[in-house]
Structure 1
Amino acid sequence: MRFLNLGLVFGFAAIASAAAIPHTHAVHEKRDTAVAKKWEKRGRLSANARLPMRIGLKQRNLHLGHDLLMDISDPSSPNYSKHWTSEEVIEMFAPEQKTVDAVRAWLIDSGIAPQRLTHSDNKGWLAFDATTEEAETLLLTEYHLYEHVDGQTTAACESYHVPKYIQEHLDYITPGIKLSAPSKRSVKARSASNRIHSSIPFQRATDISTNDDLSQCYNALTPACLRALYGFPETPEYPGGQARTDNSLGIFEEGDFYDQADLDTFFANFTPYIPQGTHPVPAFIDGAQAPVPQYDAGPESDLDLQLSYPIIYPQNVTLFQTDDLYSAYTSRGFLNTFLDAIDGSYCTYSAFGETGNDPIDPVYPDTVWSGGYKGQLMCGVYEPTNVISVSYGGSEADWPTYYQQRQCNEYMKLGLQGTSIFFASGDAGVAGRYGDGNVDGCLGTYGQIFSPGFPTSCPYVTSVGATQINPNSTVYEPESVADYPDWGYSSGGGFSNIYPVPSYQHSAVYDYLQRHDPGYKYYRGNVSLATTDGLYNRSGRGYPDVSANGWNLAVVIGGETGVEGGTSAATPIWASLINRINEQRLNIGKKTLGFLNPALYANPHVLNDITTGSNPGCATKGFPAATGWDPATGLGTPNYPKMLDYFLSLP
């Protein structure tokens, strides 16, 4: 079927405002008026204004993504660890050729010359520039300028129409109904960022033992304490004492930078077997730089590296340092430029109403800051490592849902390729970081509803909570939930408001809620948080999945020795141990572990179950730890000997 001739289309445009839409067309998208509460509709766009039109094509097999990932991640599957290539992933989810042909024919028949059309390399969208008049004629709509309360403007329409036969082939069209302005780019915006690393403040301490004394591990958890706590030997046994060159541990950092002098002091004091000068392999993205002078040392970067190296050495770390200094501090966007750099197809990947980066993400070349990155956005310049640790995050409420869903899909794609991704679960218990959508870290009109974290709630990552050694206890006694009210710190956990309970977690979540129901009112699914009297989504994906110690870990920052903690400490501990196990699997001819959750939920006996403590927030005690999985410590902490035996036994 072909589109109506161009003369008729222009006739339709003239009467679109009177709602005389032909029966051959249907509304494809219409904005919820509540979304525009911070926007003011201004004047009609000039008929000759040029709009960069993108037609997001319906992706193929997105609904199969979950099952495909489970098929290679479930130890009981005959396809376990049969990871895909990046080319296979792109081909699996690319639009069907009939979709490309149908939409292309519609555009050409509507008067868009073939030479004006660009088809993206990953086949996900068709693009062309159009005047406002052409776009309004094509979509039977009107474009207006919308202004956000912060002064930013964008072109958008309230709804648009397409032929009914085309709808099945379209994801969305932009500019369209989406209102998403970039944040104002001012250096002062750093303190307002809702994208933070997940650690509690550094505390100076001068009496930390630098030997293998295990009697003071509660006060300062040294590498020796960690080895005793989780049962891994000081140095891995690798053939010839050499680590592989294809198994570096990936660590993400943004707006926080390590100092080499701090690393060297830490190595000298706590791990003298690690040579001075040991440093990560740089994978700098969009103008990022490191290391920095000691007075600028970042607590997150120093912590991540000083926890990882003692576990994995002589393996190395690949440092994914992201974004120029200006953009790292001022943009609201989070992780998209990193995902661009490790997957070139992500730069132009269409899903959930978005193609490429969102206006809230950094823009390159950086034309605003004189010292900004002047090169093009980096796409596909680095290979993803086998394991990636991310100690940063925020709240689901602080980013658009489509923004989070598109990223979560990317973690699914990386899992298909054999990458294990760990995210910190947050440090505010069942509450979240303060942001646009919450009150004092909690949601709802009165700030009483629990605020789930992002990206840790994505079902295709391994979410890591935090534990602590109890006062007057030793490393040989059970830990409890990390909870320190004086700092407002408690291990993050709860249930997503975006993602449902994944299949691998069904029985664990059901068992917890049946046996250990915390007694709070709840709601189910995607409801209006302004109307519910429930505190959490009973049908949401539960997190964290696992946990590790996140309290009083010995570090050197800015030349001073002290302690730090948070789920940001627990995350690189888990990532490092899995990276170490991957090394041994690779050395005996097996594949990397990839997405871990199905294997862990099916075999929780390889972990140390944590059954005491809770993660308070939003004027509640939060969720209590309990036997089995719980939304405070997940399945538990690492038991390295059991984990190693189990994972080496898998195909």
Structure 2
Amino acid sequence: MRCRQLSVISVLALVPFANIAKPLIPPWDDLRVKHTWGAVPPNWESLGHPSAGTTIDLHFALKPYHENALTDALYEVSDPKIPLLRCRYGVHLSKEQVAQLVAPHTESLELINSWLEHHGVPSSTISMTHGGSWLTLTGVPVSQANELLGASYQLYRPTGTNDSIILRTVGYALPAVLHAHVQTVVPTTCFASVRTRRQTPRTLEATRDMASRSVLRSRDDHGVTPSELRSLYRTAAYVPVAKDRNVLAIAGFMADYPNPADLTTFMKKYRTDAEDATFEVVQINGGGYDPSHPGGEANLNVQYAQAMAYPTPLIFYSTGGVMAYDPDPDTDPFLQWINYVLRQEHVPQTISISYGAFETDIPLEYAKKLCDLFSELGARGASVLVPSGNVGVGKGEDCIVNDGSGRVQFVPDFPGSCPYVTSVGGTTGNPEVAAEFSGGGFSNHFPRPKYQDYDVPNFLEQLGSKHDGLYNPTGRGIPDLAAQAADLHVIVGNDGFTADGTSGATPIVAGIISLLNDYLLSTGKSPLGFLNPWLYGLGAAGFNDIASGSNPGCGTDGFSAIYGWDPVTGFGTPDFVALQALLPWANPRREARPSGGPP
């Protein structure tokens, strides 16, 4: 059987803006609202307008000419269940191929050029990336940004705090003719700051009186250690061999840095064969690196990723920007990080991210565009793991919808709710049960992806009418899987702590996926790339099912873990040996589980 080639759209000839033919001039003063909150979002306060002369960088996400081209290509290379395209599985795309698939129509560029010229924006301040799908205006005076976008940029800060000040507008508009061409503009109405998914670490000494917790620990040593995790998830016998090809990466933000001496101390205490473990630091967007002031989040991520995947090479991306206003142009660190990675000729095979925001704080079109960028990573062969959150089904007890209605609704986390990443929930204990803080639920931004068409309806059928009206039953379900997330030992500043949170579970799972990728690369196969189509098919049988525990929040008992997939622990925790046997090429004669049927 011949496999048809991936139909890659011919790349658009992108020429300098000054050379683009000018279309008929549309009515640029016909502004239509693109997004507005209607009022200052809850828990934020305005500090007034910025000083005269303040500038801002504006990023315009343009809609692709062929709307579904990238998604179609992503599933072609990521879903081993497509019979006629099975030979496309694992044939990941190059940077150039992805750029072609996301390129906008030439009309989009012509209209944007005409509009910017009308407002006197110098062509020297305009640049394009990703095949023209992102357009950046550098150093735009805030007064001109207000005119372009019908906006009112002001300085904001979380109410009653000394947190970083951000430069935002409550609403913005675009000429009506541009709405069909521009997906979103950044930064505008996004008031969310990237934040860690980890709870506050506790000193080991402070936890020794917590006898009620029994997380894989002996009477003499409370807490979870790498040796216990490697035994529980059956990775201890595997030794990576594709160290020259396989890379594991961690995305770091908020000036939180790992310390190599702490990593050495951690390994000497918990994995003596890995005392020489190290990592490479890549600084993005002015991200610093000061190991003399180690951060708990960065150390937690590096120590557990290396504990599971050693000696696989590890990259730590230190990304500057806190979505805050300062003398430099206002930047979104998430956007800066993902754009940097996508500009590289090769992307890491496995990426762990321990940061996110409540989905309600992210404007829909902006969330969709960031999610599209994650799909680009998947199409290029990266498996992206993100945490599901640490507050059960919502923002603690603050689950009021920001639409003035007073409605209560469960609040999922982004980017965990993006269908093109793999979301990681949390467990605790041995035998394992769901950690009560494990984030989970259903997206209000993204519909249920086709790979969930069997498992999510099966859960909803068992749930019945419970929680009706509090969640979106047609939304993307999270998490996809889980791992230990409570009482994780970590070394910070040469002192011992334990930490809770799904950001601890995420690098654990990333390390295990990295081992699977190592095995595939060592046998001449492609890495897994976007995991979920395989995970929800043949891979579902490779997990330790978690069927007890729940994730309360929003004044409810939340969802319950059940046999099969659930919005607390997904399919459960990974069994490396079982997953290794279920890799797409491991048993070529065994058919993958179809969507709509059990394993």
Give the TM-score taking structure 2 as reference length. 0.77
1:393 to 350, 356, 369: 356
Question: Is contact 2:66-2:101 (8 Å) kept?
Answer: yes
Tell me if structure 2 keeps the 8 A contact 1:482–1:550.
yes
Q: Secondary structure at the match of 1:643?
A: helix
Q: How does 1:107-186 map to 2 (within 5 A)?
A: 120=128, 122-124=131-133, 145=152, 147=154, 161=175, 170-171=181-182, 179-180=188-189
* Counterpart in the other structure of 1:71: 76
Q: In structure 1, what is the equivalent of residue 103 of structure 2? A: 94
1:354-392 per-residue CA deviation (whole Å, 9 max, x = no partner) reads xxxxxxxxxxxxxxxxxxxxxxxxxx5x84311000112
What whole-Å deviation, never above 9, does each CA across 1:284-324 have from its counterpart, x for those lacking one? 2233333523xx33222222222122221121211112116
Residue of 583, 586, 597 corresponding to 1:649 = 586
Task: Specify the alignment match of 1:584 in structure 2.
Answer: 519
Task: Tell me by how many angstroms 1:156 deviates.
Answer: 10
1:563 CA displacement: 2.5
CA separation of 1:510/1:4 partners in 2, compared to 1, >3 Å: closer, same or farther?
Answer: closer
- Residue in 2 that maps onto 1:417: 380
Q: Cα distance, 1:425 vs. partner?
A: 0.8
The answer to whether the 8 A contact 1:39-1:147 is kept is no
Q: Distance in 1 between matches of 2:306 and 2:188?
A: 44
- TM-aligned CA distance change 1:112 to 1:76, over 3 Å: same
Answering whether residue 544 of structure 2 is matched by residue 545 of structure 1, we say no
| Match status 1:259 vs 2:259 | yes
SS of aligned partner of 2:274? coil
Larger deviation, residues 57-66 vs 264-273: 57-66
Q: Secondary structure at 1:251's aligned position in 2?
A: strand
- 2:316 is matched with which residue? 319
Distance (Å, rounded) in 1 between the aligned partners of 2:321 and 2:113: 38
Which whole-Å CA distance do the structure 2 matches of 1:85 and 1:249 have between them?
Answer: 19
Q: Is residue 225 of structure 1 aligned with residue 228 of structure 2?
A: yes
How far 1:146 moved relative to its partner? 5.4
Measured after TM superposition, the shift of residue 580 of structure 1 is: 0.9
Instruction: Give a deviation string over 1:48-77, Cα, whole Å, max 9, x none.
Output: x99999876542223343332222111123
Q: 1:180 to 1:274 in 2, by over 3 A?
A: same
Percent of counterpart pairs with the same letter?
A: 30
Q: Could you tell me which residue of structure 2 aligns to residue 513 of structure 1?
A: 460
| Matched residue type, 1:517 | G
- 1:612 maps to which residue? 548
Distance, in Å, in 2 between the alignment partners of 1:577 and 1:134 is: 49
Aligned pairs for 1:378-527 within 5 A? 380=344, 383-432=346-395, 440=398, 443=401, 448-470=408-430, 478-483=431-436, 490-517=437-464, 519-522=466-469
Q: Specify whether residues 95 and 510 from structure 1 end up closer, same or farther in structure 2 by C-alpha distance, changes over 3 A only.
A: same
Structure 1, unaligned stretches of length 5 or more?
17-25, 184-192, 345-379, 434-438, 471-477, 484-489, 523-534
Q: Select between 423-432 and 121-130 the one with higher mean Cα deviation.
A: 121-130
* Aligned residue in 1 for 2:287: 288
Offset from partner CA, 1:132-152 (integer Å, 9 cap, x none): 99999xx9x995755566698
Query: Per-residue displacement from partner, 1:147-168 (whole Å, max 9, x unpaired)?
Result: 56669877999755456xx875
Q: Structure 2 vs 1, CA of residues 116 and 642 (structure 1 numbering), >3 Å: closer, same or farther? A: closer
Answer yes or no: is the 8 Å Cα contact 1:516–1:626 preserved in 2. Answer: no
Does the alignment pair 1:270 with 2:294? no
Shift of 1:233: 2.1
- Equivalent residue letter for 1:455: P
> Kindly tell me: are residues 546 and 102 of structure 1, through their superposed partners in 2, closer, same or farther at Cα, counting changes over 3 Å?
same
Instruction: Check 1:334–1:268 CA distance in 2 against 1; reply closer, same or farther (3 A cut).
Output: same
Superposed displacement of residue 431, structure 1:
1.4
Q: Deviation per CA, 1:500-553: give whole Å up to 9, x if none.
A: 11110121110100023361122xxxxxxxxxxxx1112111100000111222
Which string of whole-angstrom CA distances, capped at 9 and with x for unpartnered residues, describes residues 176-209 of structure 1? xx954889xxxxxxxxx5622424422314989x
Q: Distance in 1 between matches of 2:121 and 2:331?
A: 37
Measure the CA separation in 1 of the matches of 2:237 and 2:337. Answer: 32
Which secondary structure does the structure 2 equivalent of 1:279 belong to? Answer: coil
Shift of 1:90: 0.4
Other-structure match for 1:189: none
Normalised to the residue count of structure 1, the TM-score between the two structures is 0.71
Instruction: Structure 2: state its 5+ residue gaps.
Output: 1-20, 158-164, 210-215, 589-599
Q: How far apart are the structure 1 equivalents of 2:294 and 2:149?
A: 51
Work out whether 1:250 is the aligned partner of 2:245: no
> C-alpha displacement at 1:619, in angstroms?
1.3
SS at match of 1:226: helix
Q: 2:38 aligns with which of 34, 37, 51?
A: 34
- Deviation sequence 1:445-494 (CA, Å, 0-9, x none): 66842111111111100000011115xxxxxxx411013xxxxxx11111
Aligned counterparts of 1:392 and 1:55: Cα–Cα separation in 2: 23
Whole-angstrom distance in 2 between the partners of 1:599 and 1:500: 19
- CA RMSD of superposed structures (Å): 4.3
| Paired position in structure 2 for 1:597 | 532
Moved more, 499-508 or 299-308: 299-308
Q: Does the 8 Å CA contact 1:2/1:106 hold for their aligned counterparts?
A: no
Q: Which has more radius of gyration?
A: 1
**Contact conserved, 2:359 with 2:413, CA < 8 A, in 1?**
yes
CA positional deviation for 1:95: 1.7
- Matched residue pairs, number? 535
Residues 446 and 329 of structure 1: CA distance in aligned 2, closer, same or farther (over 3 Å): farther
Distance in 1 (CA, whole Å) between partners of 2:425 and 2:198 is: 11
- Measured in 2, the distance between the counterparts of 1:55 and 1:282 equals 29
CA shift for structure 1 position 393: 1.9
Distance 1:265 1:67 in 2: 46
Q: Could you say what secondary structure the match of 2:256 adopts?
A: coil
